[in-house]
Amino acid sequence: MSVSDRIDAVSRRFKRRSPSDVQTLVLALLAGSVAVAVLTPLLWVLNSARSVPIDRFLEILLRQTTFDILLNTVVLVVAVTALSILIGVPLAVLTAQTDMPFRRLFTVLAALPLVVPSYIGAFAFVSAFGPRGELATVLAPLGIEQIPSIYGLGGSVIVLTLFTYPYVFLTTRASLLSIDGRSVEAARTLNHTRLAAFRRVTLPQLKPGIAAGALLVALYTLSDFGTPAIMQFDVFTRIIYVRTTARQVDIASIFSILLVGLTVVILLAESRIERGGETSAYVNRGTDRPGVVRLGRWRWMATLFPLAIAALALALPPAILLTWLGRSTPELAGAAVDFQWEFAWNSVLVSGLAAGVSVLAALPLAYLSARGEGRLASLPERASYVGYAVPGVIVGFGLLSVALNVTPFLYGSIAVLVFAYVVRFLPQAVGTTRSSILQVDPQLLEAARTLGKPPLAAFRKIVLPLVMPGIVAGAALVFLTSMKELAATLLLRPFGFETLVTYIWQVQEAAVYGQAAVPALVLIGISALSMLVILGRERYDVKE
Amino acid sequence: MTTDDDTRDDGSTSERHRPSRRRFLAAGGVAATGALAGCTGLFGGGDDGDYGPPDYDAADAAMEAMAISEFQGSGAILEGRPAPGGRSMEDLPNLSGELAIYLGGGEGGLYRDLFDVLEAVYPDFSYTAQPKPSSELAAQIAEEAQTGQLQADVFISIGAGSLGAVVEEGATRPLTAETVEPVPGAFVEPDNNWVGIAGRARAIPYNTDQLDESDLPDSVMDIPNADPLQNAMGWAPTYGAFQDFVTAMRLLEGEDATLQWLEDMQAAGIQSYDNEFLISDAVSTGELDAGFANHYYAMRVLNGSPDRPLDLHFTRGDAGSLVNVSGAALLDRDENAGLADVFVRHLLSAEAQEFFATRTYAYPMLPGVQPVGDLPTIDELETPDIDLTELSNTGPTTDLLTEAGVL
């Protein structure tokens, strides 16, 4: 079913209702075109796959190794998602609904791992826990010869979980903060224990938030190349990368199509969880926050959990980076260009632009999906998630080809790079914007309309201020993930344009690890600031 | 179409570069690389930066020494090197203009050091480099060439495979005969579409405390069955140079034998690493007994830690002793045709080759420049008889590696 068919269907339904639904039609058109634009790099994939003869296609598809890699990928995604929920949800509950000490500090600490690029995290873990790593060196004199291998599935799961669980933490926390406390109180008056009230009242309301975070974790895991590559674990991204650079685009595209297929499966699974009666669950009717759970004797014990996570995810990588400072081999000390602050500025510039464009593109998608009627309304929004699950190298080559053939005047400019970031990271902006739109009572808007405000003005005056926090958080998420993106940046950056990640890649290539420390710390520092923006939005809805 | 006395029609002649090169000298080593191993004495004794003495010969001699020291690396394995022989940079036309370089990943930073020296020597010359993985660049150049939008004048690649790939796509122009003339035929594309600038031999780094060289077979095909090498070796299957080695094996021994070899190596418990520097390092610390790596990684480890028990073994006349080259190709666009060609000629000068030999520990392409340390010279190595351009045919290789479950 083509997009235009969909829009027709949507518009037919609207025509049956009211004349003002012309607006909705415009919205649908906008959303549809954004979705199509975002999917263009994937057309290149499909186009490349066309050239594969059917028997070769089947032969590759039915290989044992293909099945093994599919299994590896699925196991990795499931494990990382499950573990992220197990870490993210308790942390969210502890920081939002209990009397654990230093809740503000731990909120920041729990969210921060998201700013560490997973390839730097993976590198740090290998340096620390690998054979001949720091830990092995410490244990060797104690007579411990062998430590369990960090390589493979185990290491990949640990690293990806530690650096992506904040998605679940942030979305769950946002849901917790917007829960209608009166329903919890009602349950308590009906003789439910705290636990039972949590299970029967709070948890159902949290589900959409948890699911939204889990979706981001699952799709990020699907698209991440750096971690499995460093951990030597064979998943789709690694194969796609190897094949693409070996100029076997046909095979790479087959695996990319499989990857997109997996994405669709995950999206379907998520929508079954999330889209159940959310309108009532999500709408915030001038909430009273549910009462704080008193931990009593466990107050201080509870802090051990966030502390342990922070030690692994936040203390370890910088510590390893600092040990690198002394690790340059002397004769290579001059091997790489010296670090310049311009690289940091370039990173901020392209990531900032990507954040701005993503927010604008996300608004129609999110609004249509949150307020539109029927399944079709959320199609454009769902479609935007596909780019997020496709590895950067594919988006990169797809855009390279599209830019060369369709918009040659843009080729080699920042525009193409920014667009690549939008393709990869738009869903993050859509997700946060959508959930804040859902929390706006539509009756407010109708009230404004009956008072004679034109729809756009009503939107600007009533809805926008209420959804601003979600928009800002979305922009910050896009910003910090764009700061980290390596593959697409390397491929699409203009001539002579270096960013923090391309510089880190270069010094690592030249094996001058010492010179990677400063830019990596700068990258983490700048991204951390954008994380504070995300948490800052809670000013709007935390009444402490 | 190029002239061999200048890169631009601005009437420069070799007369002109005396003053400019001396200006560079007077700046006392403008380039950031330092490392004036024992040659600063030439400038000792009250050289107060006055660069006006009319004694051209003395100045030239100083310049030459300065230049070599500038280009030469430093470290234990470089003691007592002979002066490099071959075409000196002094005798080449000036570089002037702005050059755009696609710089294939690898030792990118080191190349830039050399380019920076050239920028310092030639005030009218400047370059912009865009470093990326070589294989990605080859794919990108192919896409750009199809739509006539090449962004760079020169492609420098870490291996001949990527060069062969862009030649196949018709993205290149031939270099002039004069530029490629001093380089042995094995490292020049038959139609001069690319030329090697620095060589790398495949080698077996081994730990001399744990193995004796006699433990290591002379044929790479015998390694899987060598008893001392069970569960003690490492390789880096995602690394381009390793894949070139497997491609060479495929061309020499055939698909079936290569697949068998890959499977046997895995049965022998070989471990995967991310890159070959890590392998050479792991061999030197005893984490591994031996591995598959380019020769220069071991030199690099030794130059940093000379006491480690690490040596190189070379197999004979098979894929295991493949010598691949980093090379340069001119990209087929109208700008800078002459400049790009003369630039590559500079990379093949005695000074630049000394730079590659002593800083990247590569095999020099000029017969007059010695490889470092106790490396066998390029003619002592028994290299396989193989057309390096065929290494661009990586598709079946990745098929094999995938089929064997290595990738």
DSSP of B156-173, one letter per residue?
EESSHHHHHHHHHTT-EE
Residues A209-255 pLDDT 10s? 888 899 999 999 998 888 888 787 888 888 888 777 767 777 788 88
Does this model's pTM top 0.85? My answer is: no
Say which residues have a Cβ less than 8 Å from residue B377's Cβ, sequence separation at least 6: B370, B371
Q: Region B183-200: what's the mean pLDDT?
A: 91
Closest approach of B13 to chain A, Cα-based (Å): 31
A331 and B75: CB-CB below 8 Å?
A: yes
Say which residues have a Cβ less than 8 Å from residue A29's Cβ, sequence separation at least 6: A7
The verdict on B157 touching A (C-beta cutoff 8 Å) is no
Transcribe B218-242 into DSSP letters. SSGGGGGG-GGGTT-EEE-TTSHHH
How far apart CA A259 and CA B16 sit, in angstroms, is 60
| Tokens coding A16 | 């049956």
A300: pLDDT strictly greater than 80: yes
Residue B331 near residue B141, CB atoms below 8 Å: yes
| Tokens coding B407 | 């990738």
Residue position matching structure tokens 């000013």: A539
Residue B290 near residue B204, CB atoms below 8 Å: yes
What is the domain partition of chain A in residue ranges? 21-62+328-537, 66-243+295-326
Share of chain A above pLDDT 90, in %: 17
Q: Region A376-383: what's the mean pLDDT?
A: 81
Higher pLDDT, B87 or B60: B87
Residue A236: closest CA among chain B residues belongs to which residue?
A: B407
CA angle, corner A514, sides to A510 and A520, nearest 5? 95
Share of chain B above pLDDT 90, in %: 33
Higher pLDDT, B27 or B278: B278
Q: What pLDDT score does B162 carry?
A: 85
Class of domain A66-243+295-326: mainly alpha
Q: Region B65-93: what's the mean pLDDT?
A: 69
Residue B353 near residue B365, CB atoms below 8 Å: yes
Does A66-243+295-326 match A21-62+328-537 at the fold level?
A: yes
Residue A130 near residue A151, CB atoms below 8 Å: yes
**Which A residues, 237 through 266, put their C-beta within 8 Å of a C-beta on chain B?**
238-239, 242-249, 251
| Tokens coding B106 | 């690898």
How far apart CA B319 and CA B316 sit, in angstroms, is 9
How far apart CA B59 and CA B72 sit, in angstroms, is 20
How far apart CA A351 and CA A499 sit, in angstroms, is 10
B300: pLDDT strictly greater than 80: yes
B108 and A336: CB-CB below 8 Å?
A: yes
A491 and B132: CB-CB below 8 Å?
A: yes
**Which A residues, 387 through 426, put their C-beta within 8 Å of a C-beta on chain B?**
393, 397, 400-401, 404-405, 408, 411-412
**Which A residues, 104 through 163, put their C-beta within 8 Å of a C-beta on chain B?**
131-132
Burial of A52 from C-beta contacts in 10 A (0-12 / 13-18 / 19+): middle
A207: pLDDT strictly greater than 70: yes
**Which B residues, 170 through 209, put their C-beta within 8 Å of a C-beta on chain A?**
none
Smallest Cβ–Cβ distance between A245 and the set B133, B287, B300 belongs to B133
Chain A partners within 8 Å of B73 (Cβ) = 331
B105 and A507: CB-CB below 8 Å?
A: no
Closest CA to B364 of B131, B372, B216: B372
Confidence class of residue A489 from pLDDT cuts 50, 70 and 90?
very high
Smallest Cβ–Cβ distance between A336 and the set B73, B109, B407 belongs to B109
Smallest Cβ–Cβ distance between A506 and the set B108, B135, B402 belongs to B108
Q: Region A35-44: what's the mean pLDDT?
A: 83
A400 and B143: CB-CB below 8 Å?
A: yes
Smallest Cβ–Cβ distance between B136 and the set A132, A232, A245 belongs to A245
The verdict on A330 touching B (C-beta cutoff 8 Å) is yes
Architecture in CATH for domain A21-62+328-537:
Orthogonal Bundle (1.10)
Closest CA to B242 of B190, B293, B297: B293
As a whole number, the mean pLDDT across chain B is 79
Q: Is B37 helix (H, G, I), strand (E, B) or coil?
A: coil
Chain A partners within 8 Å of B33 (Cβ) = 334
Smallest Cβ–Cβ distance between B147 and the set A247, A404, A511 belongs to A404
Give the A:B interface size as CB pairs under 8 Å.
130
Share of chain B above pLDDT 70, in %: 79
CA A543 → CA A100, A290, A406, B336, distances in Å? 17, 12, 51, 66
DSSP annotation of B286: T
Smallest Cβ–Cβ distance between B140 and the set A239, A330, A400 belongs to A400
| Interface mutation target, options A48, A245, A254, A503, chain B, most CBs of B under 10 Å | A245
Chain A partners within 8 Å of B129 (Cβ) = 496
A73: pLDDT strictly greater than 90: yes
Residues B363-404 pLDDT 10s? 888 888 888 877 887 777 788 888 887 887 777 888 888 788
How far apart CA A216 and CA A322 sit, in angstroms, is 31
The verdict on B304 touching A (C-beta cutoff 8 Å) is yes
How far apart CA B40 and CA B25 sit, in angstroms, is 12
